[in-house]
Amino acid sequence: MKPYGLVIDDKACWGCKACEVACKQENNAPDGLKLIKVLEDGPKRVTGRLQFQFKVQACKHCAKPACVKACSFAAISKRADGIVVLESAKCTGCRSCLEACPYAAIVFDETKEVALKCNLCHHRVDQGLLPACADNICLGHGIHFGDPAEIRQKIAEKRKLRGGRGEIIPKAISYSRTAHP
Ligand code: SF4
């Protein structure tokens, strides 16, 4: 079993929201709803200069997902490879998962009365493709998919080249899956 994960380097985010567009294009979420979201903080003074800071929010495919436990209708499950999938077709609209998720990663489609979330583009991943948000669309090169340890190492090297301290540790949305044939 080779470890894979979606690794998001918030420090690299420019706030362009290309990930939101790619996700919407791929997953066709209703207008007003986002399965991946760029949160904006600022402008505020950081070491004397006004700056915006960004944080990318999406399902973390938790090791022990509270949403799976909360759903009484088996509409959410964790696959053997670790991806947490919400099947809207099985959703009864009870919203228990929205309350259970500690990361506010689930949204609600009021028209269809079903919950929605990032399923890590499993339809693409199963074909050996990248999730839409990680498919080279991030202008800041901040969203990566692959072996989290290798990705962290590359990000550390990039920061050193730019004169940073090489300190790292972007939040990893980690899960494991078998290597693709
Ligand atoms: Fe974890 Fe929330 Fe994603 Fe469920 S929806 S796996 S609780 S982040």
The domain spans of the chain are 2-177
- Give dist(CA 123, CA 151) in Å, integer: 23
Q: What are phi and psi of 38, to 5 degrees?
A: -95, 115
pLDDT at position 159:
81
Q: In this structure, are residues 35 and 58 in contact, taking their beta carbons and an 8 Å threshold? A: yes
pLDDT at position 180:
46
For residues 165-175, give the mean pLDDT.
64
For residues 41-70, give the mean pLDDT.
94
Q: Is the peptide bond before 170 cis (omega within 30 degrees of 0)?
A: no
- Give dist(CA 120, CA 130) in Å, integer: 9
In this structure, what DSSP letter does residue 133 have? G
How far apart are the CA of 48 and the centre of ligand 1, in A? 37
2-177: CATH topology is Alpha-Beta Plaits (3.30.70)
For residues 73-78, give the mean pLDDT.
97
Residue of 60, 77, 91, 98 to mutate, ligand 1, most atoms within 8 A of C-beta: 60
Provide the whole-model pTM: 0.90
